[in-house]
Amino acid sequence: MTQNLTRPKKANAASDKNSAAAAKSDTFASLDPRNGEVIAEYPIADEAAVREAVERARVAARWWEAQGFRGRRDWLLEFKKAIASDAASLSSVISKETGKPYGDAFLEVMLAVEHLDWAAKNAKKVLKPRKVPSGVASFNQSAILEYKPLGVIGVIGPWNYPVYTPMGSIAYSLAAGNAVVFKPSELTPGVAKWLEDKWNSIAPTQPVFQVITGLGETGSALVRSGVDKVAFTGSGPTARKVMAVCAESLTPLVAECGGKDAMIVAADANIDEAVEFAAFGAFGNAGQTCAGVERIYVEEPVYQEFLDKLTATVKRAKPGGDENSTYGPMTLPRQVDIVRSHIEDALKSGGKAVLGGVESVGERVVEPVILADVPETSAAVCEETFGPTVVVNKVRDLDEAVERANGTNYGLGASIFTRNKKKGRQLAERLRNGMVSVNSVLGFAAIAALPFGGIGESGFGRIHGADGLREFSRPKSVTVAKFSSPLKLMSLERPERDLKISQAMLKFMHGR
């Protein structure tokens, strides 16, 4: 996943022209990736504008917290209703700014709405104050655990799923009682402004959810603006830059930094089903999915059957820029160079192209590419490609498949296909990542109750589910003395008798 804190590098004439124009003015253009045409102009928020937005959010956050769980639930369900009732409009904006087909955009909206609904309805259950056991040594104390809002959350979103992904931070932050200032990718500002307009249509005087648009400098300003936490989605190298800035003020960070997700296909798998999911996971959204399928490890007995069927399926794909296309163009123009370099490296290092090849990489659209027998040291296996390519390698058994799947620095998601569900669960336990789907791809992404996030180069922290709500809260511990303790241990004049009794208790309870 790519999200920069610096101005985009030169990619093609259209993007270069956009950056140059932005450098000379206080606006930048949103471009249609299908043809490079300007969709709209948006303001570049400078440091002062960002700080003003954060200050407005801080005031609004006090009002928002005072609404309580029930009040916030009602507001968020109204927000959800406003989005869902106009989903076609939002889907069209997504499609235009990302280039993905309308159907894919609509699916994204649907999933985002599900998460907003779950966060709104479950915040009280997860975050309400509750009593916890105080233990024998503190039996005179009543112990209460509370979760408080952090205040203002700065969200920096990606371009590949400009609603679904940031909603994992926005919805859960709002449900936990925080205000949000959202800086979308410079490639998809219209999607974010659409969401802000919908919020303002139900709460025009309460800037609980604000959008600031701009390039990398705007993102840097947001991180330095005094927000109480940053939720970032993007690449590992950029996440390191964000962390360095956060360190200046000890601002906490949750980071989702992409992946190199593996699929494992066992010899007993339903091959047709595995092929269907593999094709979707690898080539859906032009492969621009952080938890999509980039590597496939197939047991030797079914390897050729799987590879032949996958090739036949993917050959039917029709990439392009219209509604009949299977997937659209590359949203980020310079990602084309990365895709090309990974294909070249795979072939130079001994891999073979089963479908397509370097010639499949066009100026805007990349035709499907299936690579096989690619060494595990190749960039096509070790680094995030983020394009419509997939590596399919043969393994002798499932132990080797797990070893290879765990062989990169990434650890976001994975998928396993086997008819033996028990074996699937056992394999899932051995994978070093944050999420696994057995006999499906991206199954975890659609279930709002499940946390989403990775380890290693894929980042840290969680969005979605109860863990996502707690991610944007701070735990607060409260004790209330119900009666005086019979043992005066916390006293400058501790009785010798009480110490002896405590020593005997410790030995009886824990020393046997």
290 catalytic per annotation: yes
DSSP lists the bridge partners of residue 298 as 265, 394
| Inter-CA distances, 308 with 37, 129, 287, Å | 39, 56, 20
For 264, the token pair is 């494992």
Angle at Cα 255 formed by Cα 336 and Cα 9, nearest 5°?
A: 30
- According to DSSP H, which parts of 316-397 are helical? 335-348, 379-382
DSSP 512: -
DSSP 7: P
The SS3 assignment for 193 reads: helix
For 18, the token pair is 């956009």
Residue 52 sits at φ, ψ, to 5 deg, of -65, -40
Are the C-beta atoms of 310 and 279 separated by less than 8 Å?
A: yes
Catalytic residue among 97, 114, 256, 471: 256
256 catalytic per annotation: yes
Whole-angstrom Cα distance, residue 502 to residue 481?
19
In the numeric block, the tokens 């299936």 are attached to 370
Whole-angstrom Cα distance, residue 253 to residue 229?
6
The SS3 assignment for 45 reads: coil
For 302, the token pair is 């079914």
Are the C-beta atoms of 235 and 1 separated by less than 8 Å?
A: yes
Strand-pair category, 130-132 with 38-43 = unpaired
Torsion, CA 319, CA 325, CA 327, CA 333, rounded to 10: 60
Residue 5 sits at φ, ψ, to 5 deg, of -100, 0
Catalytic residue among 114, 290, 299, 367: 290
Q: Which residues touch 455 (CB under 8 Å, ≥6 apart)?
A: 411, 432, 433, 434
DSSP lists the bridge partners of residue 375 as none
Angle at Cα 501 formed by Cα 497 and Cα 504, nearest 5°?
A: 140
Half-sphere exposure of 373 (CA within 13 A, CB side): 10
Cβ neighbourhood burial of 331 (10 Å; 0-12, 13-18, 19+): buried
Question: Which amino acid does the sequence have at 497?
Answer: R
The SS3 assignment for 254 reads: strand
For 181, the token pair is 């200032």
Q: How many residues does the chain have?
A: 512
Round to the nearest angstrom and report the end-to-end CA distance of the chain.
54
In the numeric block, the tokens 């046997």 are attached to 512
The SS3 assignment for 354 reads: strand
> Would you name the residues annotated as active-site residues?
256, 290
